[in-house]
Amino acid sequence: MAGEEETTTTTSEAMSLERTPTWAVATVVFFLILISIFIEHLLHLLSKYFNKKRRKSLLQALDKIKSELMLLGFISLLLTASEKWIANICIPKSVGESFLPCSDPSHDSEEEAKCQEQDKVSLLSRQGVRELQYLIFVLAGFHCLSCVLTFSLGMAKMRRWESWEAETKTLEYQFSNDPRRFLLIHQTSFARRHLRFWSEHRFLRWPACFLRQFYASVSKVDYLTLRHGFITAHFAEGSNFDFQKYIKRALEKDFGVVVGISLWIWIFSMFFIFLNAHGFYNYYWLPFIPLIMLLLVGTQLQGIITKMCLDSYDKSQVVRGTFLVRPSDHFFWFGWPKLLLHLMHFILFQNSFQLAFFTWTWYKFGLRSCFHRKTEDIVIRLAVGILVQILCGYVTLPLYALVTQMGTSMKKAVFPESVVEGLNRWQANARRNVARNTLTGRLSVDASVDTSLGSSPSFSLDASYSVKFDNPKSDSDHTVEIKDEEEEISISRETEGLQKRSSFGGFEVRNT
């Protein structure tokens, strides 16, 4: 026994830094620093590329990824610093043996002397703390990778929309959609696709919409019809607005929401870990939650298109030019289009969590561990995880990107980055001018006209404004209200008599 204790002591001392060559420590630290600098340099190059391309939304998403990595590093540091303190928290053995992930767990981890003296067990052993650090890191990596992969698949699917958008500029398209032509509603391609025998019956419509998301989820006629309804509702008819680029900008901004990990998402991850106890048999039902939710979201999106078709059909039996749908929030659940984005955020996180948990248990405990002893468990987790990833990126995300634009209000992404920067400069200059003229007591319309852009009406990101495209209608003005989450964008006149027109990137902006 004395010899064994001496060997253990010698081995323990050899593993400490006191018995480790300094060149070995310096070599390991050097390579760690080198890898960190290399990753930081890659992120910096990616940030410069987004700045050069004026992709501010993707730049914000990249900043969120950096903040998540910093948060995880801080969590890992806290776990390392409090490892001994956590292990010294003793709980009764009866409590420590409840809700175990394995029915016959092994007791190969060493307990703290303090807990052994009290005939208790540690709340979380030092070995468990180290394994938890691996799980948190793998989870963050899988979530970021899952979001980027989903976004890339969606963008690849939406590239074909560029040819559909280019078709709207051709003479053939303008001739076939001439507003001087009148058609019966059943003669249009959009009506023939959605006005079927099952359309007006809810119990038949939902199964049909459920199946439709698996083949031609976004058809050419759906894209062109929703595009026409969006532009007619918010802009002048016949405008040359690039709807496809607008969808891409809006989706990039939504990506910044999806890639983040909020507090309620972290809270759910705690429930996920808790439900991995042996008695819950989670491998039979937990992997199917993201799949079921994703199919429900896809069915709802297909149903919104059909309901918009039915709504237009009930209001008119004759079509002027092309089929016209009317965007409205009441087609969405609870009148809240943003809810679908939060659901997709939840779906992606839960799916990435399950894949990360499977990878972590495979790496730390082996493929045939107590976490997944049965072959059915392994097949279900992998098959469902990969299916959700592909289905969400290539099917549901493009469908969401198109249908979510059919709400009552537009998003801030309707303006290109150059226009937004011009409006922000105009706002800052106008506010400085108004403040200076107010202090001197010489505010007048003539003085403001003689100045530069600062004399124009001020722009506020908390107000409302109207926009008109290059080809306005002569008989009416189209005033639109644009929202970005809970903020409304508007142009407010801060002083009476300050009226001036200007244009940014093809938009004509008017005081309202």
- Quick one: pLDDT at residue 415? 59
With CA atoms as reference, report the closest residue to 329 among 227, 234, 407: 407
Q: What is the pTM of this model?
A: 0.72
User: Within this chain, do residues 386 and 432 fall inside the same structural domain, yes or no?
Assistant: no
Q: Contacts for 176-179 with beta carbons within 8 Å, 24 or more apart?
A: 176/322, 177/228, 177/321, 177/322, 178/321, 179/237, 179/238, 179/320, 179/321
The full DSSP string for 68-108 is HHHHHHHHHHHHHHTHHHHHT-EE-HHHHTSS-SSSS----
Please write the tens of the pLDDT for every residue from 331-378: 888 888 888 888 888 898 888 888 888 888 888 887 777 777 777 888
- Domain limits for position 437: 417-442+453-510
| Cα 494 from Cα 511, distance rounded (Å) | 11
User: Within this chain, do residues 362 and 479 fall inside the same structural domain, yes or no?
Assistant: no
User: Within this chain, do residues 330 and 461 fall inside the same structural domain, yes or no?
Assistant: no
- Quick one: pLDDT at residue 414? 63
Domain count, the chain: 2
pLDDT of 486 higher than 60: no
Please write the tens of the pLDDT for every residue from 275-296: 877 777 777 788 888 899 999 9
Would you say residue 220 lies in a domain?
yes
User: Within this chain, do residues 238 and 374 fall inside the same structural domain, yes or no?
Assistant: yes
User: Within this chain, do residues 424 and 397 fall inside the same structural domain, yes or no?
Assistant: no
- Quick one: pLDDT at residue 387? 92
Please write the tens of the pLDDT for every residue from 95-138: 877 777 776 655 555 556 677 777 788 888 888 888 888 888 88
Domain edge (last residue) among 384, 408, 432: 408
pLDDT of 270 higher than 70: yes
User: Within this chain, do residues 376 and 300 fall inside the same structural domain, yes or no?
Assistant: yes
Please write the tens of the pLDDT for every residue from 407-438: 777 666 665 666 666 667 777 778 877 777 77
- Quick one: pLDDT at residue 412? 65
Residue 463 and residue 492 in contact, taking contact as beta carbons nearer than 8 Å = yes
- Quick one: pLDDT at residue 157? 86
What number of other Cβ atoms are within 10 A of residue 297's Cβ?
22
| Cα 321 from Cα 129, distance rounded (Å) | 67
| Cα 250 from Cα 192, distance rounded (Å) | 30
User: Within this chain, do residues 386 and 438 fall inside the same structural domain, yes or no?
Assistant: no
